[in-house]
Structure 1
Amino acid sequence: MTEEGAGGPGPAAGIEGRLQRVPTGVPGLDAVLRGGLFAGGGYIVRGGPGAGKTILANQVCFQHARAGGKALFVTLLAENHARMVQHLERLGFYDPALVPNGVYYVSAFRALEEGGLRGLMTLLRREVRARGATVLAVDGLMAVAEGGDSDREFRKFFHELQAFISTEGCVALLLVSSSRAEHHPEHTMVDGLIALEDSRVGSRSQRELEVRKSRGSGALRGRHPFRITDGGIAVYPRIEALLARPSQPDGRPDGRVSTGVPALDGMMGGGPLAGTTTLVLGASGTGKTTLGMHYLARSSEREPGLHFGFYETPDRLAAYAASMGLDLDGPVQRGDLEILWRPTAEQIMDDLGSQLIEAVRRRGVKRLFVDGLGGYLEAIDRRERVSQVFAALCNELRALGVTTFVAGETMNLVGPEVAVPVEGVSVIVDNMVLLRFVELRARLHRLVSVMKVRGSDFDLALREFRITGAGIELAGTFADAESVMSGFGVERQAAVRRGSAFAPGKGPTRPRGGGG
């Protein structure tokens, strides 16, 4: 007997009566369906013109045939098969070598016109048995409904079809236009209902798939974005649904991980605990990416690193690091570090999340720097999802034992307020490091402060730092500052005489000034 989730052609149920899964082979869709479709089940695929119904059904047929099964595609539309195949030939899943032995096309338009629903049922029985089909796709269910004299006759046809495919152990995909009534009797008779829709997201459109019914099995609820690509349809399950629970138990933090900046490690009690998530907050130019480069330069065979960024190409990033004396090329060439660049244009947040987790699992990454959180925000479809997606990703990364740094940009360069880019994110992360500018004597100075280290004591002092040809250098504390959280320094006469902690020819001092 085939175990549930294993899939493959065969009878509808094994000796013990367990329903057998038939994978669709469509990227992401089997995850939404929790393993695929059930053998012997009937599924309505509903959507408007251009939604992707025909492509989806053909992709399932070809993937099924590629796995050794037999698929029958029946069209009830006036469009001839040659025209449809011309459109399919450009898609990666299409393989002419599988036609006709693996995927067989039949036009039932004439059978329906001449023999009505009875004639159509006769054709379906004959062709499914003759071809040994374990997947049946019927395109144009509206034509079937219009071919009957009444809804009662159509329901009778539907019942006969359902009984037949159940006996044969054949999965049936029944494609119907969304112009048919939303709640129609046939919806109660099928095992599943998959809806394909186009939604507006700001100024762009996004395709979405929703499993509205899945008899005998749960499915990931809600709408999941998908694309029609050169390879066919790719579905991106909602991250907060896919990772509602981490893939494995979350272990206890084991030891500390260096940030790559020894003085900052000291401020954090020896560095962040392994397997925790650190949010590095700061305005543009404060040094978030620079800190991330320090962190990733420590990547090794024991602690593989990953840079997942949106704004810098790998070459530019490596050159930028080299200008500060940090070597990223070496770890990359050794295979200890991978730099992934994902331009922000026309991205899907769930796709980005899946790519990130896949890259982490593929190499067993232990050091991760996400640069930055803004890249995810630009790919968002609904604002209320951001904190849920971020929490799901953080939980999975902790479970995988990844020590993560995430750069988050604050809007104000100087001033008393710190605007966290995502509401609730400060509760989700384990640690927070704030980088800020402070204005003092008509100059901007950089300050670093540790605001949170979960499970550990830490240094509350404000430290001035600068970015040099040797990277980040921390000075003494900024302890004498007044209006510390205002971002504007208030100097006293003594502070004017002493100057900055980095004043030429002087050791670290404590200038009068503040930053938030």
Structure 2
Amino acid sequence: MNRFPSTVAGLDDILRGGLFEGGVYILEGPPGVGKTTLANQMAYNHASAGHKTLYVTMLAESHARMVQHMSHQTFFRKAAVNAFVFYVSGYRELENEGLKGVLSLLRSELARSGATLLVVDGLVVSAQGIDEGVRQFVHELQSLVTAMSCTCLVLTTGRGNALSAEQTMVDGIFSFEDQLFKGRAERLVQVRKFRGSEVVRGQHSFCITNEGLQFFPRLESMPLLHGELADAGSVPLGIHEIDAALGGRGVWEGSNSLVTGESGSGKTLMGYRFAAASTPEAPGLLLIAAPETKAGACHLAGRFDIGLERASQCGGLRIETLGQSDESLDEMGHKILRLVDEARARRLVLDSVAALADTRAFQDRGYRFLGRLLMELRRRAVTALFTLDPAEISLASGTPLAPGLAALFDNVLVLEAPRDVGASRQLAVRKMRGRHGEATVIPLRG
């Protein structure tokens, strides 16, 4: 069986290669969740490769209005309309002749257009006693697309279990939904059924932008790639007292460090110093979470003579924001790895883990997600430093997860703010990869 790639970012990863040619796939979910946008996105991507799509809508909405809505998407190409993407209404046939009339329309239009992708949008069957007719419709639809070497998407709200009887006859079922978290809506998809190959099971988040839909497979469920690098050297942390106490070598290259402490203990500045040591030869990536901004981070660093802006201007450091919009946990995870790859970063600072914790999925999947993220960074030989305020992460995630998260990291450093006037900060090295012995306490200046 030949694959039919969707060419939609992330979706073919979930499907381990795409749909199958000649298959019938149901996309079900409430109005506004993105089914129509996804189908049009696939149609125009298909057109870019020189292939044709027949888009048949059962809705009363005019094609001109649908095209008008799609025209704001970057995938839309006006020249493809009626040349590679053919819009046809089946509303009248459904009203006057029922599903048999729709099948006759599909048969004639597929023969005329030569389309290899068929979209049936808005199939809603709610009349009593219609189950047998629906089963017959899907059966004949499968026979039709197989004979025409055509792949078919059926878009439906799935209300009233109208399609439940015949769902076992199709090649795949994709369920789309919205879930609320702290007043924010997160879009999710689940592949409930897929014939022909394994898929990445469970729920996956996706977003809709001007570029269409983008899917984010659960990070910990993606295939494992081998090739983790052995220790190759050391990387200074950029603070003289700490590097000196660690024998002048800092941390192992490719290791990941967790810097914890209360608000005001100096975690952010420590991260900035580590990031500012980036060079064009060994680039770095600094990810800052809300409410901080790039300008604010550079201003704060400058007050302490930390050259964040200088490192950025010379091309050694890339500064990006994380979690400052309604990004899901997996969206942020894939974003981090994409930015690391784009920047070819050798060091990474995430300030702070709370950006990941303030998501719907973190409470249930935070440990596995973070463990996989660190594994991917280690495989890329990225030396990473994450900051964490236990009180902040507990507030963001709704659960006191901070103590357990430390076990995932190679190195654990605890910063303590001065308790008395005139006292200095101190840093406790609770865990250090490749180092044995009791915890080390290092007094810090300032």
Both proteins in one fold, TM over 0.5: yes
2:91 paired residue number? 109
Structure 1 residue matching 2:94: 3-state secondary structure: helix
Q: Deviations over 1:21-67 (max 9, x none)?
A: 22223222222222221111110000122222222211211121122
CA apart distance, 1:384: 1.6
Question: Deviating runs (4+, > 4 A) in structure 1?
Answer: none
CA apart distance, 1:115: 3.6
1:422 paired residue number? 402
1:372-451 alignment runs, 5 A limit:
372-411=352-391, 421-440=401-420, 442=421, 445-451=424-430
Which of 141, 148, 161 is the equivalent residue of 2:123? 141
Query: What code does the residue aligned with 2:189 have?
Result: L
Distance 2:131 2:273 in 1: 69
Q: Deviations over 1:268-314 (max 9, x none)?
A: 34211111110001111111111112212221233211101114322
CA apart distance, 1:338: 0.5
Q: Tell whether the 8 Å contact from 1:387 to 1:422 is kept in structure 2 after alignment.
A: no
Which of 101, 110, 113 is the equivalent residue of 1:131? 113
1:509 paired residue number? none
Stretch deviating more after TM superposition (19-28 or 124-133): 19-28
2:31 paired residue number? 49
1:264 paired residue number? 242
2:194 paired residue number? 214
Query: What code does the residue aligned with 2:45 have?
Result: Q
Distance 2:160 2:82 in 1: 32
Q: Tell whether the 8 Å contact from 1:380 to 1:386 is kept in structure 2 after alignment.
A: no
Q: Tell whether the 8 Å contact from 2:390 to 2:402 is kept in structure 1 after alignment.
A: no
Q: Deviations over 1:224-247 (max 9, x none)?
A: 1222323322222222223x62x3
Structure 1 pair 329–284 and aligned structure 2 pair: CA distance change class (3 A): same
Stretch deviating more after TM superposition (26-35 or 149-158): 149-158
**For structure 2, which runs of at least 5 residues remain unmatched after alignment?**
393-398
1:97 paired residue number? 79
Q: Tell whether the 8 Å contact from 1:268 to 1:458 is kept in structure 2 after alignment.
A: no
2:253 paired residue number? 274
Query: What code does the residue aligned with 2:304 have?
Result: M
2:58 paired residue number? 76
CA apart distance, 1:364: 1.6
Stretch deviating more after TM superposition (178-187 or 395-404): 178-187
Distance 1:138 1:423 in 2: 51
TM-score, normalised via structure 1 length: 0.80
Query: What code does the residue aligned with 2:266 have?
Result: G
Q: Deviations over 1:396-448 (max 9, x none)?
A: 00011101000011339xxxxxx9753521211000011012424x5553111
1:14 paired residue number? none
1:225-244 alignment runs, 5 A limit:
225-242=205-222
Distance 1:52 1:405 in 2: 37
**For structure 1, which runs of at least 5 residues remain unmatched after alignment?**
1-18, 413-418, 468-516
Query: What code does the residue aligned with 1:278 have?
Result: S
Distance 2:213 2:160 in 1: 24
Distance 1:341 1:459 in 2: 37
1:302 paired residue number? 281
Q: Sequence identity, in percent? A: 36
Which of 159, 181, 188 is the equivalent residue of 1:201? 181
CA apart distance, 1:343: 5.1
Distance 1:319 1:112 in 2: 64
Which of 157, 166, 176 is the equivalent residue of 1:186? 166
CA apart distance, 1:150: 4.4
Q: Deviations over 1:323-348 (max 9, x none)?
A: 32232333322322111123534232
Distance 2:304 2:417 in 1: 20
Structure 1 pair 315–78 and aligned structure 2 pair: CA distance change class (3 A): closer
Stretch deviating more after TM superposition (283-292 or 176-185): 176-185
Structure 1 pair 387–104 and aligned structure 2 pair: CA distance change class (3 A): same
Query: What code does the residue aligned with 1:315 have?
Result: A
Q: Tell whether the 8 Å contact from 1:284 to 1:410 is kept in structure 2 after alignment.
A: no
2:396 paired residue number? none
1:320-335 alignment runs, 5 A limit:
320-335=300-315
Structure 1 pair 365–248 and aligned structure 2 pair: CA distance change class (3 A): farther
Q: Tell whether the 8 Å contact from 1:209 to 1:225 is kept in structure 2 after alignment.
A: yes
Corresponding position: 1:365 with 2:345: yes
1:10 paired residue number? none
Which of 44, 69, 94 is the equivalent residue of 1:62? 44
Question: What is the RMSD of the two structures over their aligned residues, measured on CA atoms?
Answer: 2.3
CA apart distance, 1:101: 0.7
1:476-491 alignment runs, 5 A limit:
none
Stretch deviating more after TM superposition (388-397 or 44-53): 44-53
TM-score, normalised via structure 2 length: 0.91
2:270 paired residue number? 291
Q: Tell whether the 8 Å contact from 2:264 to 2:417 is kept in structure 1 after alignment.
A: no
Q: Tell whether the 8 Å contact from 2:54 to 2:85 is kept in structure 1 after alignment.
A: yes
Query: What code does the residue aligned with 1:372 have?
Result: S
Distance 2:94 2:117 in 1: 21
Structure 1 residue matching 2:159: 3-state secondary structure: coil
Structure 2 residue matching 1:445: 3-state secondary structure: coil
- More contact order relative to length (CA 8 Å, sep ≥ 6): 2
Query: What code does the residue aligned with 1:116 have?
Result: G
1:483 paired residue number? none
Question: Counting helix residues as a fraction of each chain, which structure ranks higher?
Answer: 2
Q: Tell whether the 8 Å contact from 2:44 to 2:76 is kept in structure 1 after alignment.
A: yes
Distance 2:419 2:33 in 1: 55
Structure 1 pair 293–113 and aligned structure 2 pair: CA distance change class (3 A): closer
Q: Deviations over 1:66-107 (max 9, x none)?
A: 222111100122222122223222333222111011110011
Q: Tell whether the 8 Å contact from 2:134 to 2:163 is kept in structure 1 after alignment.
A: no
Query: What code does the residue aligned with 2:428 have?
Result: S
Stretch deviating more after TM superposition (208-217 or 375-384): 375-384
